[in-house]
Amino acid sequence: MQPSDLLSALRTRRVVAIVRGGDGAAALDTVLTLVRHGIDLVEVSLSGADALDVIRDARAALGPDALLGAGTVLTAQDARRAAEAGAAYIVTPAVTEAVAASRALGLPVLAGALTPTEVAAARAAGATAVKLFPAGPGGVELLRALRGPFPDVPFVPVGGVDAAAAREYLAAGALAVGVGGPLVGRAADGDPTGLTERVAAFAALGSPTTHKESS
């Protein structure tokens, strides 16, 4: 995947599903369910159980074109292992060595940042887009404030983003949003109750009518 491919996927899908759980088999089932029901831009967090196996098995099941990435990537070794498992893009919680390592591997990166200094560092390190994390405490006002000095940075708020907040972030100029618990619930721990209903609510955010103010 090229950086332009990730940006295009973020722009059209609008939602990155974050799968993190304590049961590898359930996490794999969750990834496949998300894709089957319309959310096909999925990040598997390396902090979850058997995460590399989940990525590897999901890649085998979904094929080479699946929009499958690895999240919570902290080190260069994490990045290499994620790439070997089949991750097409990398997501970091901060500006770590994994950003440059991932770019060296030819993978686009959604790099975590919260402050203006961190946003600038993420872009200087080669981030394709900036994961505004944790977005919850600052909310939409933080996104609007950062878009002032960084109007050309593609922002993806993550952390505390439910369906209502997702609509607000997208209307305020976010390229996409990253969603974990409010979408996945406890499915990756073995309890998929309500998953398909939540998927339907978030998949609707991909409609072009959702995006009002962003450039």
pLDDT tens, position by position, 12-31: 999 999 999 999 999 999 99
Catalytic position from the list 43, 168, 212, 213 = 43
> Please, are residues 115 and 137 in contact by the beta-carbon 8 Å criterion?
no
* Average pLDDT rounded to a whole number, residues 199-206: 90
Catalytic position from the list 97, 131, 168, 197 = 131
Query: Over 70: is that where the pLDDT of 212 sits?
Result: no
Query: Over 80: is that where the pLDDT of 207 sits?
Result: no
State the pTM of this model: 0.94
Is position 131 annotated as part of the catalytic site? yes
pLDDT at 206: 81
Query: Over 70: is that where the pLDDT of 208 sits?
Result: no
pLDDT tens, position by position, 131-185: 999 999 999 999 999 999 999 999 999 999 999 999 999 999 999 999 999 999 9
What domains appear along the chain, each with residue ranges and CATH number?
3-206 (3.20.20.70)
pLDDT tens, position by position, 175-198: 999 999 999 999 999 999 999 999
